[in-house]
Amino acid sequence: MPDLHPYAASESNSSGRLFFESSPDYRSEYQRDRDRIVHSAAFRRLEYKTQVFVNHEGDMFRTRLTHSIEVAQIGRSIARVLGINEDLTESIALAHDLGHTPFGHAGQDALNQCMKDFGGFEHNLQSLRVVDELEERYAEFSGLNLTFETREGILKHCSTQRALELGDVGQRFIDGRQPGLEAQLVNLADGIAYNNHDVDDGLRSGLLSIEQLSEIHLFQEQYDIVNAAYPTLPQRRVIHEVVRRMINCQVTDLIETSTARIVALAPQTLADVRNAGQALIGFSDEMAEHNQRLKRFLRNNLYQHYKVRRMSTKAGRIISSLFRAFIDDSRLLPPDYYDRLDLLDKGQGSTGQARIVADYIAGMTDRFAIGEYERMFDPGQLT
Ligand code: MG
């Protein structure tokens, strides 16, 4: 790895792990975080979780797994240029969606609605819960015992109330401080990845058209350039060429804007970054505006497309039916949940029970949730 700036996260300024462990012999602490994430069950399940399209709609679309890998790729490229910690960037990127429910945002909204009397459901918090508590892989501790910096990066936002309950990792929301640069970076790399791959998947699925996208400056500008340079190129390749150039424009703007902000503020330490009063990683105002327009466009034309809405409505119904059934009778949950159920039931009553049900549902893949729904409600499956 190239030399890190002193304000980048590193082993010398790390806030360490919750449970002390001696340093790995041949890896950095953040490589170890990444490796633990890659070996986790929640990470493998991302392969069968929806981004926009339900997992079984086609093998060509993005899933949460390929999305996370794209975020890691974009994040690492930028981290290296900026001289900040590439390993940490990668580990945050690969972990950032671990807490996602099946069926993308429709699933998250439905579960949040189900949990409204029990503290709500938020996928950021759930990602943290996965790495802090839910993974059961190590003899010495529950969860993955990741470094503070990876955990801080996973927790993109949270309410003050929640922050108070979370302790050290929530403290910055109370104090109004920034996270490290690697966390700031992944937050934006996430947006670059999904905005652009949703354009690509939207066109591939036929739910979006090139004509519609002509109102989006980011798209149209690159489309004109590609068409002028390669007038006979088949449409499919034109689209890929445009999308890759769109990503490049956004990445370039982010690198240049962030570099200028870092130079202007001249942080000396990680503490300077945290106390800067604003994020140092960011887009120019112009690019931020273009991004907002693209986001709005995708919301109105892709995420609200009637075919996607039908899927979302159905997905929401599956989630809330499962939730209600498990809340009414928690002994319908698989037996591995009973110990925790008894424990939380004693401590927190129905709120604890609801949290276990939410953990179970959030951990499902799209296809498992559909199968579970059939097992629970299909009269043809009484045997
Ligand atoms: Mg994401």
User: Pick from 279, 307, 335: which residue ends a domain?
Assistant: 307
Task: Give 379 Cα–ligand 1 centroid separation in angstroms.
Answer: 37
Q: Based on the structure, what is the number of domains in the chain?
A: 2
User: Pick from 265, 284, 307: which residue ends a domain?
Assistant: 307
pLDDT of residue 345: 66
Task: Give 333 Cα–ligand 1 centroid separation in angstroms.
Answer: 29
Contacts of 325 (CB under 8 A, 6+ apart): 332, 376, 377
Query: What are the tokens at 97?
Result: 């969606």
Is residue 111 in a domain? yes
User: In angstroms, rounded to a whole number, what is the distance separating the alpha carbons of residues 356 and 337?
Assistant: 8
pLDDT of residue 381: 75
Kindly report the CATH number assigned to the domain that includes residue 199.
1.10.3210.10
Q: Are residues 228 and 348 in the same domain?
A: no
User: Pick from 248, 273, 307: which residue ends a domain?
Assistant: 307
pLDDT of residue 162: 87
Contacts of 6 (CB under 8 A, 6+ apart): 268, 269, 270
Q: Are residues 303 and 321 in the same domain?
A: no
Residue type, 330: S
Indicate left, alpha or beta for 16 from its phi (over 0: left) and psi (-120 to 50: alpha).
left
Q: Are residues 120 and 263 in the same domain?
A: yes
Q: Are residues 87 and 157 in the same domain?
A: yes
Residue 80 has what DSSP assignment?
H
CB 254 within 8 A of CB 291: no
Range of the structural domain that residue 178 is part of? 29-307
pTM of the model as a whole: 0.95
Q: Are residues 226 and 120 in the same domain?
A: yes
Q: Are residues 277 and 343 in the same domain?
A: no
Q: Are residues 344 and 278 in the same domain?
A: no
Is residue 255 in a domain? yes
Q: Are residues 277 and 363 in the same domain?
A: no
Task: Give 357 Cα–ligand 1 centroid separation in angstroms.
Answer: 23
Q: Are residues 319 and 188 in the same domain?
A: no
Task: Give 126 Cα–ligand 1 centroid separation in angstroms.
Answer: 13
Is residue 208 in a domain? yes
Secondary structure class of 194 (helix, strand, coil):
helix
Q: pLDDT in tens for each of the 383 residues of the chain?
A: 557 999 999 999 999 999 999 999 999 999 999 999 999 999 999 999 987 765 556 666 788 999 999 999 999 999 999 999 999 999 999 999 999 999 988 999 999 999 999 999 999 999 999 999 999 999 999 999 999 999 999 999 888 888 988 989 999 999 999 999 999 999 999 999 999 999 999 998 899 999 999 999 999 999 999 999 999 999 999 999 999 999 999 999 999 999 999 999 999 999 999 999 999 999 999 999 999 999 999 999 998 899 888 889 999 999 999 999 999 998 899 988 888 777 776 777 788 899 999 999 999 999 999 999 999 999 887 65
Is residue 177 in a domain? yes
Is residue 19 in a domain? no
Burial category of 368 from C-beta neighbours within 10 Å (exposed 0-12, middle 13-18, buried 19 and up):
middle
- Which string of DSSP letters, residue by residue, matches 314-342? HHHHHHHHHHHHHHH-GGGS-GGGHHHHH
Query: What are the tokens at 62?
Result: 């993005």
Query: What are the tokens at 218?
Result: 């980011």
pLDDT of residue 211: 96
User: In angstroms, rounded to a whole number, what is the distance separating the alpha carbons of residues 370 and 55?
Assistant: 11
Residue 145 has what DSSP assignment?
-
List residues, by chain if needed, whose CB lies under 5 Å from ion ligand 1: 97, 190
Is residue 11 in a domain? no
Task: Give 262 Cα–ligand 1 centroid separation in angstroms.
Answer: 25
- Which string of DSSP letters, residue by residue, matches 97-166? TTTPPTTHHHHHHHHHHHTGGGT---HHHHHHHIIIII----SS-SS---BHHHHHHH-----HHHHHHH
CB atoms within 10 A of CB 210: 14
CB 111 within 8 A of CB 355: no
Q: Are residues 276 and 222 in the same domain?
A: yes
